[in-house]
Amino acid sequence: MTDKRLQLILDLMKKYQLDAVAINPGPALTYLTGLHFHLMERPTLLLISESSSPVMILPELEIGKINQSRIPLQPVTFADDPSLWPAAIISAVEKAGLKNAKVGVEPTHLRFMELNYLQTAAPEDHFVSAEALFSELRLCKDAVEIKLMREAIRIAQDALDATLPIIKVGCTEKEIASELVINLLRQGSESELPFGPIIAGGPNSANPHASPSDRALSTGDLLVIDWGATYEGYCSDLTRTFAIGNIDPELRKIYETVKAANTAGRAAGAPDLTASVVDKAARDVIETAGYGRYFTHRTGHGLGMEAHEEPYMFGANKQILKPGMVYTVEPGIYLPEKGGVRIEDNIVVTDTGCETLSFYSREFRTL
């Protein structure tokens, strides 16, 4: 019996009229095989075709992983001498039956090194972008995947709770980031986090993608914390904003506006609606309050084995939402030189609407 994920990619290959796909280490390879490989100086590649069982090209030193694969793999290994690698690639191409084939590649993941080896080994093959196939492959999560994401969210939330007691006037952004990372690992996150935490206080909080700095917190600051955990390959991605002591009344106003926009965005998703509906619901609240020009990014993005994947929640996106899609809702208002607010949650589309998977308090809080 063919594994359901392998069958899914075979069905998608037919849909997109591809004879084969070539996959570098990354989320797609792990999704299909359950195996983790680091990209390094040695070529590593999975070939899937209709004419043979999947072929895995890998260094000899990693052959022990093959037996842990969730799908049967034909291994083709090579030693450390680079002069032997082209012959291994030729052997793999022959095993996969790639002759005059149309081969789909993942444009954001396949490296030039592996592509060059393939093109040399199979000069008659036609290599094309399979971006649509790979976007669809992991788009709708099943119950097991949702369970893993719930745990990634639980880990992240508990890690923040463990970090908040150290936050006070005089504490630097880097100190907070360091403590948060330690607590993420203590709570059960994998060491490879979805992204490095964003810790941004005072004027820095007006930069949506600020990096933690040596700036110390001061009374009157807003503090944006954007963080996530990884659990068994699946990500969480959350943001909360706190006040450091008494803050300017306008900063409190934008906090309540963003909270209302977050509530509207979280409620808006449902099957058969477009992703743009979610963006509009959140954006309308902020524009009505007079801060539309300060909401400078999309309302959210898909979430799964990557911190950013489809669907993307922006005004022009007519992609139809389907049960199992997971995405963020993260409206924000950013006032230059003063401060910013973002509140981010993780949402799953259900059969009848949507469910907020994250549950950390969104109420205004002073530290």
Q: Residue 1: is its pLDDT beyond 70?
A: no
Distance CA 212, CA 103 (A): 42
Specify whether the CB–CB gap between 248 and 229 falls below 8 A.
Answer: no
The tokens describing 33, both together, are 């095989």
> Is 143-356 the same fold as 4-137?
no
Q: What is the pLDDT of residue 12?
A: 97
38 band by pLDDT with thresholds 50, 70 and 90: confident
For residue 125, the number of C-alpha atoms closer than 13 Å in the C-beta half-sphere is 28
Distance CA 255, CA 247 (A): 11
Predicted TM-score of the model (pTM)? 0.94
Average pLDDT over residues 201-206: 98
Q: What is the pLDDT of residue 5?
A: 95
Percent of the chain topping pLDDT 90: 98
Q: What is the pLDDT of residue 118?
A: 96
Distance CA 246, CA 253 (A): 13
β-strand partners of 201: 223
4-137 has CATH 3.40.350.10 classification: yes
Q: Residue 202: is its pLDDT beyond 60?
A: yes
Tell me the residue type at 95: K
143-356 has CATH 3.90.230.10 classification: yes
Q: What is the pLDDT of residue 18?
A: 97
Q: Residue 325: is its pLDDT beyond 60?
A: yes
**Where along the chain do its domains lie?**
4-137, 143-356
What is the per-residue pLDDT across 233-251, written as a single tens digit (0 to 9) for each? 999 999 999 999 999 999 9
What is the per-residue pLDDT across 295-306, written as a single tens digit (0 to 9) for each? 999 999 999 999
Tell me the residue type at 38: H
